[in-house]
Chains A and B, each alone.
Chain A
Amino acid sequence: MAASPSGSLIHARALTKRFGGFTAVDAIDFDVAPGESFGFLGPNGAGKTSTMRMIACVSPVSAGTLRVLGMDPLADGPRIRARIGVVPQQDTLDMELTVRENLAIYGRYFDLPRPVIRQRVDELLDFVQLAERSGDRVEPLSGGMKRRLTIARSLVNEPDLLLLDEPTTGLDPQARHLLWDRLYRLKQRGVTLVLTTHYMDEAEQLCDRLVVMDKAQIVAEGSPRQLVERYSTREVLEMRFPVGVQETLDGQLDGLGDRVERLPDRVLVYTADGEAAGAEAYARGLRPEMTLVRRSSLEDVFLRLTGRSLVE
């Protein structure tokens, strides 16, 4: 494997993407190590897709340095693309063609010999559980099936690096879990995964390490656990009040926990001990309709870092 200066598979310094006068990615730094599973977490418009497209060598870098597999996307685009797999945010499947044909023609784009393609297509159809649908046209397939096909397609060249832009957005829980399982298996085989998501559970499930992006910049970096430890408390007490009551609580929430966050529909109290905070609230005469004590998640990290919810 070609080594970049830092030995990483992806190496970015002050990486910037501009569209006209608008800066979609603003001088971000990150490295992805071989075999690692790395995530970009962020809300709509944060610049995740713009970053992924630069890595995939289909969008020129506006400023800064980017090395992918030790090569420069500008000079070596086709050579880099030969060794990566891409699951774009929006499927680019051929609706007129069958499931099998979609995979086979993609193998041809990588100039693979037909016998090799035949064998890989069979393996991949099994891997994403689409073997029974192999002769069907793609158009009527469900969203989850199409997504699985896109993932199978991205693997046809046995990539060293797999780029997944919101792989499970819009899928039902069952389909998401199947996809997570497949991605986990790929990771076990040593494929380096880079994914974007705005689902914190997905990031927690799949990412060894992630960066939180907001407004074109990276605002935090670490493992999911590190981020929660660094930016949040162990537990969170959630309280929902009857309509109109929350606005009357000024002052009554102070000091309930390390930090109190008031969302439009509920109050979040950040504290090491949620039960105790709940009892204290009751003692103060607060009567929420609903209370819930849970562990802190990346959602809370995001809220803390940006003042906004991840999924709006």
Chain B
Amino acid sequence: MAAPAARVLEHELLVYRRVWRGSVFSSFLSPVLFLAAMGLGLGSLVDANAAGGGGASGSAAALTGFSYLAFLAPGLLASNAMQTAAGESTFPVMAGIVWVKSFHGMIATPIRPADVVVGKLAYVALRLLLVSAAFFVVTVLFGAVTGPTAVLAVPAALLTGLAFAAPIAAFSATQKDANGFNALFRFGVIPLFLFSGTFFPVAQLPALLQPLAYVTPLWHGVDLCRSLALGTAEPAMTLVHLAYLGTMTAVGVAAALVTFRRRLVR
């Protein structure tokens, strides 16, 4: 990373050192609670049902033979990356531009708007790595992990997060106030969290809605993480996921370079 962007990253980490406590619940405890309640609690019902009358409900086939806990854990890993990314690329970006104006302070020095974008996203990447690794360790402790290659789900979650962080940061830099963020979470993040395969296979959705779920970015992230974690990844589909998420990241970065510049340099 170029030196000026590294300085922006340094700033973000310095602020994070002050405020990290506040983020522990949303980005770590919350997915762990979901894993415990859904994976262990609800999972015991699902698994019993699958073992007993599986033929009737079809859920054993849908979960492709894994425990519900093992199925759920990588889904939560991916969704949590999305949520962390969305959190870090909305309000903090608004703070940098409008509330605290720290980005304005930066660009009064040799730092350029492009460095702000790169440094900020580098920071989000570090945060994603941190929360994904921490959550992965928890899933191991829960016994939800099937083999050593499951650790590949962590970089997959990182990519999933970045695929959201970059375009959302670009969007945030166009906003006058935080009102747009409420819509983003209400109509974007939360529906994706619920219906993109985190909690149940998309195949369980009404046939009409399935194609919709398959084009959502979170489904690609969830399926990538899950197939890597369960060792069921197929090369072709994995490439599709990587290409989809990689493209979203690249387009998002390109857009953020434009919107940050427009907003900061006027």
- Per DSSP, chain B at the interface is helix
Q: Contacts A92-B104, A105-B11, A105-B14 given: A60-B109 contact, CB under 8 Å?
A: no
Whether A58 lies near B107 (C-beta < 8 A) is: yes
Measured CB to CB, the closest approach of chain B to A113, in angstroms, equals 12
Q: Contacts A105-B14, A109-B111, A111-B3 given: A94-B100 contact, CB under 8 Å?
A: yes
Cα–Cα, bound, A12→B134 (Å): 56
Cα–Cα, bound, A194→B15 (Å): 32
List B contacts of A94 (CB < 8 A): 11, 15, 100, 102, 105
Cα–Cα, bound, A101→B109 (Å): 16
Q: Contacts A105-B14, A108-B10 given: A96-B19 contact, CB under 8 Å?
A: yes
A90: interface (CB < 8 Å): yes
Could you say which of A56, A60, A79, A93 contacts B108, with CB atoms under 8 Å apart? A56
- The chain B residue with its CB closest to the CB of A86 is B108
Q: Contacts A59-B266, A97-B14, A97-B15 given: A109-B100 contact, CB under 8 Å?
A: no
List A contacts of B186 (CB < 8 A): none
Whether B10 lies near A97 (C-beta < 8 A) is: no
Question: How big is the B interface, by class?
Answer: 20 to 34
Measured CB to CB, the closest approach of chain B to A281, in angstroms, equals 52
0/1 interface trace, chain B 94-113, chain A, CB 8 Å (1 if under): 00000011101111111110
Whether A111 lies near B7 (C-beta < 8 A) is: yes
B1: interface (CB < 8 Å): no
Whether A92 lies near B102 (C-beta < 8 A) is: yes
Chain B CB within 10 A, most for which of A53, A59, A78: A78
Whether A77 lies near B112 (C-beta < 8 A) is: yes
B176: interface (CB < 8 Å): no
List B contacts of A219 (CB < 8 A): none
Give the number of residues in A that approach B within 8 Å (Cβ atoms). 30
Cα–Cα, bound, A253→B264 (Å): 53
B18: interface (CB < 8 Å): yes
List B contacts of A88 (CB < 8 A): 104-105, 108
Cα–Cα, bound, A282→B117 (Å): 70
B208: interface (CB < 8 Å): no
Could you say which of A58, A78, A79, A95 contacts B100, with CB atoms under 8 Å apart? A95
Could you say which of B7, B18, B265 contacts A108, with CB atoms under 8 Å apart? B7
Whether B110 lies near A81 (C-beta < 8 A) is: yes
- The chain B residue with its CB closest to the CB of A104 is B14
Q: Contacts A82-B109, A108-B7 given: A90-B264 contact, CB under 8 Å?
A: no
List A contacts of B14 (CB < 8 A): 97, 101, 105
Chain A CB within 10 A, most for which of B15, B100, B108, B266: B108
A106: interface (CB < 8 Å): yes
List A contacts of B4 (CB < 8 A): 78, 109, 111
Whether B108 lies near A58 (C-beta < 8 A) is: yes
0/1 interface trace, chain A 59-85, chain B, CB 8 Å (1 if under): 110000000000000000111011000
List B contacts of A58 (CB < 8 A): 104, 107-108, 264-265
List A contacts of B105 (CB < 8 A): 88, 92-94, 106, 153
Whether A92 lies near B101 (C-beta < 8 A) is: yes
0/1 interface trace, chain A 35-65, chain B, CB 8 Å (1 if under): 0000000000000000001001011100000
List A contacts of B7 (CB < 8 A): 108-109, 111
Measured CB to CB, the closest approach of chain A to B4, in angstroms, equals 8
Cα–Cα, bound, A19→B7 (Å): 31
- The chain B residue with its CB closest to the CB of A17 is B266
Could you say which of A53, A60, A78, A93 contacts B110, with CB atoms under 8 Å apart? A78
- Identify the A interface with B (CB < 8 A): 19, 53, 56, 58-60, 77-79, 81-82, 86, 88, 90-97, 101, 105-106, 108-111, 153, 157
11 A-B pairs in the complex with CB atoms less than 8 angstroms apart = A56-B108, A77-B112, A78-B4, A92-B101, A96-B15, A106-B109, A110-B110, A111-B3, A111-B4, A153-B105, A157-B109
Extra A-B contacts (10), CB below 8 Å, given A86-B108, A92-B104: A79-B110, A81-B109, A82-B110, A91-B101, A92-B108, A94-B102, A106-B105, A108-B10, A109-B109, A111-B4
